[in-house]
Structure 1
């Protein structure tokens, strides 16, 4: 780090350093928060691996005053040079990013001492940061980019008793001791199996559970991407578990996109009755198996409704060949006048906002759920892994503003009939239950999310609370 990175000392200016894990599912909420804080007069510096900097700058916007500082990843055996986010790596290689992060501590300490921010806002994989920052007189804020339900259910100290024994599969099917009484009282076996990942060590490093709990325990303050209106009981449980302030950032309503929808997609969707088309996407880093793709596509076909499906595949495969291989026989011919199957990036917000789209079948990413609620799309959730599994419970059981595709307990299998049934449940005539109550709830949450005064107050309160913590 050279002289150009030394901060200008402006009296009374709050300075935050953002340091997310090297995955865009984590980087994006840190960028979104940076944009909001920056517009409220907060000085923001942003750490990431050099390979991610140009994409981060494009997400921050051309007028942003946020200073992005590139970090150098040390060589790690098995981690290809130049590939510096999970988007470019296999799941096994992605685990090596944590090894790289752990080895970057001297570099981070030097950079921190030169920048000297009031707070480092850090992520789950840097559980060593609070002690390092404390030695430099810098406060730390753990930013949880997942819903509070995830922290409460899966990564609270209550999950592991004083003996230090990790939970069994059966124990993970039920909430931890002391968990609040809400509609989330159990999960299926296949979901509990997925949660076992949190308690596995890779490459001799700490487990995700131990990293998260250490970070939350040792930080000065917890920031959470949620609000009491949506998750009050879980926020209170997290406060009790970690015995420190939990400052709420709000649910993160996306800024409207100024660019119009690409003409070819607009023309395709314009052909259909308002609210009749299904949009289906699982994000850029969630992949379905061959059999899941087949059941999904045939289930969408069975609805008789027009649909636009985005299918993505892991890196290093020939996408066009993969698509040809996984499509059911004769499928494209049968649906050619009312369906699109696409791979790669699309303008998701603009598609959801198109008047022709009325239903969103997706992986239950919480940011995606918020995008859909504010555009009046009905939610059909098919979570695949991790926090998606709990997001779907929060939206369908607590917020009652969508449905989850029914799945087999043991292995999560779903059929084309399960897809058809879920879509028909939310797309039924408005006089029919449960569609009527789901749509009523959705309108309520849309009004809340689109109340600019409420959403702005989350950030104003956050800035005030952070300033108070450092006596500014």
Structure 2
């Protein structure tokens, strides 16, 4: 039966790593004729609008983000602030609730998609809209977290409790190290306020996932099936799967900048190491230097796009002593924005050293690059475990159990493992990487998921 096209509103978390993948999904839905009202902070719109491939169906709804004491003037998203101030971005987002309600009253959408805005379901019910909690967080993360309910009386889940996966967790190879549990302890601590209503990040997400009309995930069963089944068992509700939601190129692309073409073209195919840790990851200075010294030790050409480390104003002042002279023209470290998708597509690039942010992982898996992973926190840790321990399609850099520090030797070892042709482990990893890429790019995989996703959304509306 042909059903009418949907009218969907999207209100993602004020982080580029959430806004951008939400817009990628909007493109997939708009391609099928559905209409999307996309809520975005007013000054941030220009940073993502070049991904809008269907401007006649995807309309940006600008939100005025109020100033919050403690936030830098004009800050709108998590990329505008240091990591410690991210909870204040949540407070600012919460204070757009009234403006969001006014827009929704005017728009009258069938469904509202959201993630961190836990107040959306209550608001939408008043307006007669259905709600979909749509998460870009890996099902492995959600499964590991399943069953750990935190209420207002429970102040914290211990490090020891986070070390152990929940009963029935489907894969024993996925484990946390002691240093990794600290993020999850902080996020579940009800005294660590995340937003304006005196609740932790964990409580906020718990409300978001239990108050919605439907739970949707950017994933597919071919890759994360056991974890999806575990979530469904724990939650008692079916999951709507959007599929891999592979990003499409910007509407207007000027191509790779000439300076990067000139640099990369000096080297043979598949030989360059590219490194990027996203817009929010800021390393400690000693780890920043160990990372670069690891690239130097590998002997391979490299391009690193990193933010200046803690305590440094510029990249140049943070470089190891003598590094530039020793590396010469085979290595570049730069601190500005870079055309990551186009860099990964360049034939000279053969290895991607990544923090395993959701967007980076999606771009990486459809490239031909080998993956060396140094996750920073949260979902990135489980993304790395899934790729390295379960799918065996990449390798994690070895780190200290308690402090989480890596060394130049461990960085070099990770790179050489996936890059050296005679490495037995590398041969296996490269074969698994190729198989995974071919699956994601197979002709009907994504389209079949999107079609099924839309059918279930239409059934939800009735």
Q: TM-score, normalised by structure 1?
A: 0.91
Alpha-carbon deviation of 1:318? 7.7
Spell out the pairing of 1:113-262 with structure 2 (5 A cutoff).
Answer: 113-124=105-116, 126-154=117-145, 156-158=146-148, 160=150, 164=154, 166-184=156-174, 186-200=175-189, 201-202=192-193, 205-256=198-249, 259-262=254-257
Number of residue equivalences: 454
Task: Quote the Cα distance in structure 2 between the aligned partners of 1:242 and 1:108.
Answer: 28
Task: Quote the Cα distance in structure 1 between the aligned partners of 2:226 and 2:121.
Answer: 27
Q: Quick check: 1:396–1:403 contact (8 Å CA) kept in 2? A: yes
Task: Quote the Cα distance in structure 2 between the aligned partners of 1:24 and 1:242.
Answer: 28
Spell out the pairing of 1:6-405 with structure 2 (5 A cutoff).
Answer: 12-61=4-53, 63=55, 65-124=57-116, 126-154=117-145, 156-158=146-148, 160=150, 164=154, 166-184=156-174, 186-200=175-189, 201-202=192-193, 205-256=198-249, 259-313=254-308, 319=313, 322-405=314-397
Alpha-carbon deviation of 1:314? 7.6
Q: Quick check: 1:363–1:383 contact (8 Å CA) kept in 2? A: yes
Cα displacement string for residues 198-234 of structure 1 (whole angstroms, at most 9, x for unaligned residues): 1132266211111111111110111101111111111
Q: Quick one: structure 1 residues 268 and 100, their matched pair in 2 at CA, closer, same or farther if it must change by over 3 Å?
A: closer
Q: TM-score, normalised by structure 2?
A: 0.93
Alpha-carbon deviation of 1:73? 2.6
Task: Quote the Cα distance in structure 2 between the aligned partners of 1:416 and 1:80.
Answer: 35
Alpha-carbon deviation of 1:372? 2.3
Q: Quick check: 1:38–1:66 contact (8 Å CA) kept in 2? A: yes
Alpha-carbon deviation of 1:54? 2.5
Q: Quick check: 2:151–2:203 contact (8 Å CA) kept in 1? A: no
Q: Quick one: structure 1 residues 341 and 92, their matched pair in 2 at CA, closer, same or farther if it must change by over 3 Å?
A: closer
Secondary structure at the counterpart of residue 215 of structure 2: strand
Secondary structure at the counterpart of residue 120 of structure 1: strand
Task: Quote the Cα distance in structure 1 between the aligned partners of 2:312 and 2:159.
Answer: 37
Counterpart in the other structure of 2:460: 469
Secondary structure at the counterpart of residue 294 of structure 1: helix
Task: Quote the Cα distance in structure 2 between the aligned partners of 1:178 and 1:164.
Answer: 23
Task: Quote the Cα distance in structure 2 between the aligned partners of 1:208 and 1:456.
Answer: 34
Q: Quick check: 2:298–2:416 contact (8 Å CA) kept in 1? A: yes
Secondary structure at the counterpart of residue 26 of structure 1: helix
Cα displacement string for residues 119-152 of structure 1 (whole angstroms, at most 9, x for unaligned residues): 100012x112112211221100001111111111
Q: Quick check: 1:220–1:244 contact (8 Å CA) kept in 2? A: no
**Residue 428 of structure 1 is aligned with which of 411, 414, 420?**
420
Q: Quick check: 2:282–2:307 contact (8 Å CA) kept in 1? A: yes
Alpha-carbon deviation of 1:325? 1.8
Show structure 2 runs of 5+ residues with no match: none
Counterpart in the other structure of 1:408: 400
Task: Quote the Cα distance in structure 2 between the aligned partners of 1:248 and 1:314.
Answer: 38
Show structure 1 runs of 5+ residues with no match: 1-10
Task: Quote the Cα distance in structure 2 between the aligned partners of 1:95 and 1:303.
Answer: 39
Alpha-carbon deviation of 1:192? 0.6
Secondary structure at the counterpart of residue 375 of structure 2: coil
1:440 paired with 2:431, answer yes
Alpha-carbon deviation of 1:420? 0.8
Task: Quote the Cα distance in structure 1 between the aligned partners of 2:162 and 2:286.
Answer: 27
Q: Quick check: 1:144–1:223 contact (8 Å CA) kept in 2? A: yes
